[in-house]
Amino acid sequence: MDTAAHDEIDLHPLLDQVRAAHRRQVPDYAQRMADLDRLGQAVRKHRAELVKAVSADFGRRSRHETLAADIMTTLDEIKYLRSNLKAWMRPRHRGVNLAFLPARAEMRPLPLGVIGIVAPWNYPIQLALIPLADAIAAGNHALIKPSEHTPRTAQLLARLIGEVFPAERVSVVQGDAAVGAAFSSLPFDHLVFTGSTVVGRAVMAAAAPNLVPLTLELGGKSPALIAPGYPIEHAAERIAAGKCFNAGQTCVAPDYVLVPRAQRDEFVRAYLASVRKRYPSLAANPDYTAVVNHRQANRLRDWIDDARDRGVTVMQYRPDSETPPPGVEVIPPTVLLDPPDEAKVMQEEIFGPLLPVKSYDSHDEAMAYINGRDRPLAFYPFDRDRKRLRRTLDTVVAGGVCVNDCLIQFGQHELPVGGIGPSGMGQYHGHDGFLAFSKLMPVLYQSRLNGMSVFDPPFGKLADFVVKFFTR
C-alpha cells in the first residue's frame, strides 16, 4: 500500500464528524433495533436493483447466487441480531475472589466507537452490510469503503445507506486504491478488512501506527481432503457445488483436493459429470457467474498456461463453442492433475473455477501436506470413519471446518467466521460479531461493608492472619 499516494486524501474530517456524533449520543437499544430494522427494509426495497448492479459489475452474475449469498445472508443476519440483541446487551455476572467478598463483579458490553469496514468485490453486499449490522447491534457508528472493482454496487450501497442513516452515523466512502489506503490508515476504533492476504498485510501495516484493532478476513488455499473409503461421487458433487458457486470467487471455496491416488481419476470423472449436470452450457448461461474483470480472468488463464508448461494435464469443461457476450469473462471449470507445488496455481489462492487435484498414498501424508502449508481459512474433510475424523480435526488447524460438505459453515449464526495466521485474525457474525465490536468492560462493585481496611497500615495481627490464610 503506497502511503505517498494518499497524502492528499484527507478523510479525517469525516471520521471526526462520525466520532463526535457517537460521543454526543451512544445508540441505545431502541435506536439499534430501529437502525437494524430500517437497514433490512432498505435491502428488501432495493433487492432487484442490487442484483442487477452486482451482475453488471461482474459482467454476469447468477441472480440466484446474489440472492442467496448476498441478500438472504444479510437479511438473515439482521433478523438474528434483532432476536438476540436485548440479551446480549445485558451485563454478565462474574465471580469475585473469596478475599474480596461481598463485592460483586460484571462485564458490561460497550460500543467501541467508530468501525471502519473495507469490503471486497466478490460478495460486495453481504461483506459490507453484515459487518455493518454487527457493528450497529453493538452500538457503533461506521464508515464503509466498498471495492472499486464493483463500482455500480458501491454507488447503490451509498444511496441505500444514505436513505437509512444520517451521514454522521454511517457513511460510505467511494474511490480507488489510493482512497482505500487513506481509509485504512484512519484511527478507527476497530477496522474490518476482507480481501487477499497480500493486501491484508498492507492494511495491518497502515493500521499499526494508530494501534487500530483489526479483524482481517483473508483467504488462502483451503483444502478438501477425501479420506479412503469415502463415496467419491458424493464428495465430487459437494466439492463441485463449493467450487463453482460464484465461479470459485469465494474466500472459503475449496482451493485444491487431496484424494487417494487409486481414486484420483474416478474423482475427476465424477467432478466433471457434476459440473456438466449443473451447467449444460457456459457461454450464455445466466446460472454460471463470470470472472469479475479482464485482469482476474487473464491471471487465471496465465496460471493454466503455467501449469501446462510444467507438463500438468489440464482438463476443461467446454460444452459449447459459442463466444460469451462482450464484457463477460467466462473461465470454464478446469481440473489440473497433480500440479507441482512450484506451479502458480499451488502458490496462491486461486479465486476462480480452477481445481488442482493432488494424489496421496496415505491419510497421514495428506494431513502432513496440509499442515506443511499456511493455515487455511476453511478445511473440508470428507470422512465417515469417526475415529479417523476425530484425529484429523485434532491435527489440522483452520479458520473453520465443514465436514462432508463445502461453504455452508459460513452461514451458521452460532459459528463465527475468521481465519488464523495468513488466513486472517479475529472473527465475527452473530454473537461473535457483537462481541468483536464491543468492549466487555470489567466492573467491580465494592460493598458498603467490606474487609479492605485489614490491608491499611499500620498492619497488625489480623493482617498477618489474613495473609497467612490466603498464602497457605
* Count of CA atoms in the C-beta half-sphere (13 A) of 312: 28
**Helices (H), ranges, 109-196:** 126-137, 151-164, 177-184
Contacts of 18 (CB under 8 A, 6+ apart): 114, 141, 142, 143, 167, 168, 169, 170, 171
d(CA 142, CA 395): 39
Which one is catalytic: 77, 237, 251, 349?
251
For the residues 213-227, what does the mean pLDDT come to? Answer: 96
According to the model, what pLDDT value does residue 81 have?
98
Any idea how long the chain is?
472
For the residues 203-228, what does the mean pLDDT come to? Answer: 96
Which one is catalytic: 65, 77, 217, 237?
217
Reply yes or no on whether 237 is catalytic: no
Q: Is the peptide bond before 228 cis (omega within 30 degrees of 0)?
A: no
Q: What digits encode the pLDDT tens for the residues 411-462? A: 999 999 999 999 999 999 999 999 999 999 999 999 988 888 888 899 888 8
Task: Answer yes or no: is pLDDT of 6 > 70.
Answer: no
Q: How confident is the model at residue 203 (pLDDT cuts 50, 70, 90)?
A: very high
Per-residue 3-state assignment (H helix, E strand, C coil) for 55-83: HHHHCCCCHHHHHHHHHHHHHHHHHHHHH
Q: Which three cell numbers stand for residue 101?
A: 467478598
According to the model, what pLDDT value does residue 23 have?
97
**Helices (H), ranges, 310-448:** 363-371, 386-395, 430-436
According to the model, what pLDDT value does residue 460 have?
87
According to the model, what pLDDT value does residue 1 have?
35
Q: Tell me if 55 sits within 8 A of 61, measured CB to CB.
A: yes
Q: What digits encode the pLDDT tens for the residues 110-127? A: 999 999 999 999 999 999
Task: Answer yes or no: is pLDDT of 2 > 70.
Answer: no
List of domains in the chain: 3-218+423-441 (3.40.605.10), 223-416 (3.40.309.10)
Q: Which residues pair with 358 in a beta bridge?
A: 258
d(CA 147, CA 128): 10
Q: Which three cell numbers stand for residue 157?
A: 450501497
Q: Which three cell numbers stand for residue 200?
A: 491484508
Task: Answer yes or no: is pLDDT of 322 > 90.
Answer: no
Q: Taking all residues of the chain, what is their mean pLDDT, rounded to a whole number? A: 95
Q: Report residue 336: phi and psi, to 5°.
A: -120, 120
Q: Which three cell numbers stand for residue 163?
A: 436513505
| DSSP type of residue 289 | P
Q: Report residue 437: phi and psi, to 5°.
A: -105, 20
Q: What digits encode the pLDDT tens for the residues 279-315? A: 999 999 999 999 999 999 999 999 999 999 999 999 9
Reply yes or no on whether 266 is catalytic: no
